[in-house]
Structure 1
Amino acid sequence: MPAIKIDQDKIKEAVQTIVDLGGDGIRNCVQCGACSAVCPGVKAGFPVLCRLLIRKILNGQLEETIEEVSTWGCQSCNRCTEVCPQGVRPQEVVFAYRRYQAGELAMSASAFGPQMSLYETGHAVTTDATAANREKVGLNPVPPTALQNKAAQKEIQTLLDESPMADLGIF
């Protein structure tokens, strides 16, 4: 059986791509699995988050995982970053990989709703239930975001219009 040839240039390019997109701690990962152990996304069945996503990137598998929807399951709870003993900041790696996916126009269908809401209102997640829950605890039903600031909302729209996301045709 022939030996598997590892393309070191491909690995370096993949890692550098993620570093350039904001996941600069990726080189510190020792694959301990602490991040995956506390990740609600992993527990919910999104397998390619945290440790496994980082391993795939460190193996140079950007193109092979471009259609992976698990990365869109990250809920930004930041538990992974809190427990990482190496300072990898796995959430930032996941978000860098999402940027790579968006740049390649490979977004999960589940990401369309929040993106459309962000474009239209300046807030990714807002519902009637959100407003009712905020009122119940004495808060303004509209969160203090671009929802209340038309100029900020226009800036968000301009940024999204000039991003690769605009090519998806969702707004």
Structure 2
Amino acid sequence: MSEYIKLESDKISEGVKTIMDLGGHGLLRCVQCGACSAVCPGVKAGFPVLCRMLIKKILDGQLEEIIEDSSSWGCQACNRCTEVCPQGVRPQEVVFAFRRYQANDLAFSTSAITSQMNLHAYGHAVFTDARELRAKVGLPPEAPTSAYNEKAQKEIQTLLDNSPMGELGIF
């Protein structure tokens, strides 16, 4: 029985270290209060393994079991989770670290292909052309983002092309 517990302990330690090494530094500060999930648009949209649940599964040593889950790709990087976290976990960073883990193992969700293609093309995972609406409300038609900055787009494309994501051949 103690070997089983040791095996699970090793699995937990390895998973936690993996995510922390990929940028999820606050992972161990999580107390599972659920504040992050309460404000997460991805959780509200039905992605089950985001914020609190993603952290719980990592802390329970289930990293390999959830590598194929597409929920992490539902994160829109709004940063609401980080703003409300009372422990300074920075859940968005944990989600992005998990995405890196998935990408490094080429466990890329097919549901995320459109958003990744948009990221490659425009520098935004979710992109709509809002020039007309911006002009109607008195803003310059083009937002000051990578969507309208060719140099920034090229830099993002270079980063993606030279990452594990580039190996997938979708760009």
Determine whether 1:134 maps to 2:128. Answer: no
Taking the aligned partners of 2:40 and 2:126, their CA distance within structure 1 comes to: 21
Q: How far apart, CA to CA, are the structure 2 residues paired with 1:84 and 1:149?
A: 33
Match of 1:159 in 2: 159
- Percent identity at matched positions? 70
Structure 1 residue 13 and structure 2 residue 14: aligned? yes
Over 4 Å off, 4+ runs: none
Report the TM-score, using the length of structure 1 for normalisation.
0.88
Q: CA–CA distance in 1 between the matches of 2:86 and 2:56? A: 16
Aligned to 1:117: 118
Tell me how far 1:76 sits from its aligned partner. Answer: 1.9
Distance 1:89-1:124 versus aligned 2 partners, 3 A rule: same
What amino acid is aligned across from residue 167 of structure 2 in structure 1? D
Give the aligned CA root-mean-square deviation in angstroms.
2.0
CA displacement 1:68-106 (0-9 Å, x = unmatched):
111112222222222222111111111111111111112
TM-score by length of 2: 0.88
| Structure 2 unaligned residues grouped into runs of 5+ | none
**Aligned AA (1:51):** R
Letter in 2 for 1:134: R
1:77-156 aligned within 5 A? 77-128=78-129, 130-156=130-156
User: How many equivalent pairs are there?
Assistant: 169
Instruction: Give 5+ residue unaligned stretches, structure 1.
Output: none
Q: How does 1:24-63 map to 2 (within 5 A)?
A: 24-63=25-64
Deviation of 1:4 after TM superposition, in Å, equals 9.2
Asked whether the 8 Å contact 2:70–2:112 carries over to 1, the reply is no
Which amino acid in the other structure matches residue 5 of structure 1? Y
